[in-house]
Amino acid sequence: MPAFSLQPSPVDLRRRLSATETDCPVYKPRCPFYKPRPSLNQLRFHSIRSTINGMIQTLLRTLFSTLATHRQLALENLALRQQIAVLQRSVKRPHLKKCDRLFWVLLSRIWTDWGKVLAILKPETVIRWHRKGFRLYWTRKSRRNGKGRPAVSSDIRELIRKMSQANPGWGAPRIHGELLKLGIDISQAAVSKYMIRHRKPPSQDWRTFLGNHAGDLVSIDFFTVPTVTFRVLFVFVILAHERRRVIHFNVTDSPSARWTAQQIREAFPWDTAPRYLLRDRDSIYGHEFTSRVSHMGMKEVKTAPRSPWQNPYAERLIGTLRRDCLDHLIVVGENHLRRILRDYLFYYHSCRTHLSLEKDPPEPRKVESPDQGKIVEFPMVGGLHHRYSRLAP
């Protein structure tokens, strides 16, 4: 009887191997030159390992160099400098890895004379790397983790800019208070962020300045009108700048300082006189006129010689009187001229729209809605002009 053995014979081994290769569906023969592709974690591990190995090698070389003799260090420095010179001649811009940049950044923090031995690049480059790393560090540290504050809508931003532009003297607290009264929930810091920054100190514009002083300023002037008998009549007008309203007018054929002073008294009885009186340098405003104006508490503002443009409102009023009325009529006498001017000034104050008053007459006129009735035409100034209004049927 043959002896029992635990080890299989070579024939059994070959039989088992051939059965595994043919019968097993999972088995696949491999190519002898096949190399598996490394995973992403393996690549990261190799990169970190190479960086750490390079830094360890640098530290070890530094440690060994401290134990070497002075002659060996001098020869090593000479050899290194010669190699750096060859590298600078052959390579214009050397390629540095992250570990190299990190090494120079750390070295610049612990060694004050690092810039003296730096040859392959400029010290400004290392400083730029350090600042870039500083920005990346704090950008990552201060990144938004959650939703954060809600964004301010474009309408609110535009309203804040409009408020700061229209009110140069307002700061962020004042604008923030106005927005809270309008039901807009926003922080004062956000208001300060979107305000317009004025280069110069806050100041009002000239239109606002003149508008605030227009109530205490009037203009006076004379103009002439020929009659049918070739006489020359002088018309004296007093114009208030606030609403372009003609306060007083009169007609004469022989003006004088006493007559002009009397017109001023009739135009401003009691304490209704304005603060400033704008006029030209006509000789008709004599001593009696100036003394009367001074006693009434008014200050005369005289224009420059031959400069009618410095009294623009009065000159424009005279041009309007001529174009709209007097150029279309032949004046018979003083009473006729007074009646014509009285009719026209009634139309001027109550009906005629003005560009400077936002298309409104000196005496404000209500806007009539279409449901008030049909449009009716009313003749004014003898039919030279008309007023249009709505009447209920």
What is the value of pTM for the model shown?
0.53
pLDDT tens, residue by residue, 207-263: 777 777 778 899 999 999 999 999 999 999 999 998 899 999 999 999 999 999 999
Q: Are both 238 and 330 inside the same structural domain?
A: yes
The residues, ordered by sequence, that sit 6+ positions from 310 with a Cβ below 8 Å of its Cβ are 303, 304
Do the domain assignments include residue 30?
Answer: no
pLDDT tens, residue by residue, 63-92: 666 665 666 767 667 666 666 666 666 666
> Half-sphere exposure of 239 toward its Cβ, with a 13 Å CA cutoff?
26
Least confident of 2-16, 29-43, 249-263, 279-293: 2-16
pLDDT (average), residues 362-373: 88
pLDDT at 220: 96
Query: Which of 137, 164, 183 is the last residue in one of the domains?
Result: 137
pLDDT tens, residue by residue, 168-180: 778 898 899 888 8
pLDDT tens, residue by residue, 270-287: 889 999 999 999 999 999
Q: Are both 369 and 245 inside the same structural domain?
A: yes
> Half-sphere exposure of 204 toward its Cβ, with a 13 Å CA cutoff?
7
Rounded Cα gap, residues 275 and 363, in angstroms: 22
pLDDT at 50 over 80: no
Long-range contacts of 378-383 (CB under 8 A, 24+ apart): 380/343, 380/346, 380/347, 380/351, 381/325, 381/340, 381/343, 381/344, 381/347, 382/343
Q: Are both 223 and 174 inside the same structural domain?
A: no
Do the domain assignments include residue 294?
Answer: yes
Percent of the chain with pLDDT over 70: 75
User: For strand 245-252 and strand 276-279, is the pairing parallel, antiparallel, or unpaired?
Assistant: unpaired
Q: Are both 184 and 284 inside the same structural domain?
A: no
Q: Are both 244 and 310 inside the same structural domain?
A: yes
pLDDT (average), residues 155-166: 89
Question: Residue 276, Cβ neighbours under 10 Å: how many?
Answer: 14
pLDDT tens, residue by residue, 295-335: 999 999 999 999 999 999 999 999 999 999 999 999 999 99
pLDDT at 1: 43
* Number of domains comprising the chain: 3
Q: Are both 110 and 256 inside the same structural domain?
A: no
Q: Are both 189 and 87 inside the same structural domain?
A: no
> Half-sphere exposure of 311 toward its Cβ, with a 13 Å CA cutoff?
29
Confidence of residue 24 (pLDDT cuts 50, 70, 90): very low
pLDDT at 362: 92
Residue 241, domain CATH: 3.30.420.10
Pull the structure tokens for residue 232.
């020359």
Q: Are both 189 and 269 inside the same structural domain?
A: no
Q: Are both 322 and 290 inside the same structural domain?
A: yes
The average confidence (pLDDT) of the chain is: 81
pLDDT at 32: 55
Q: Are both 252 and 327 inside the same structural domain?
A: yes
Least confident of 17-26, 238-247, 296-305, 338-347: 17-26
Query: Left (φ > 0), alpha (ψ -120 to 50) or beta: where does 234 sit?
Result: beta
Q: Are both 164 and 119 inside the same structural domain?
A: no
Segments forming the whole domain that contains residue 107:
41-137
Do the domain assignments include residue 147?
Answer: no
pLDDT at 35: 56
Q: Are both 376 and 276 inside the same structural domain?
A: yes
Do the domain assignments include residue 17?
Answer: no
Only one residue has tokens 């401290």, namely 66
Question: Residue 175, Cβ neighbours under 10 Å: how many?
Answer: 22
Pull the structure tokens for residue 114.
């690092």
Confidence of residue 130 (pLDDT cuts 50, 70, 90): confident
pLDDT at 356 over 50: yes
Do the domain assignments include residue 263?
Answer: yes
pLDDT at 25 over 70: no
- Round the CA-based radius of gyration of the chain to a whole number and report it: 49
> Half-sphere exposure of 11 toward its Cβ, with a 13 Å CA cutoff?
0
Do the domain assignments include residue 108?
Answer: yes
Do the domain assignments include residue 85?
Answer: yes
Rounded Cα gap, residues 252 and 236, in angstroms: 8
Pull the structure tokens for residue 250.
């009169």
pLDDT at 337 over 60: yes
Do the domain assignments include residue 20?
Answer: no
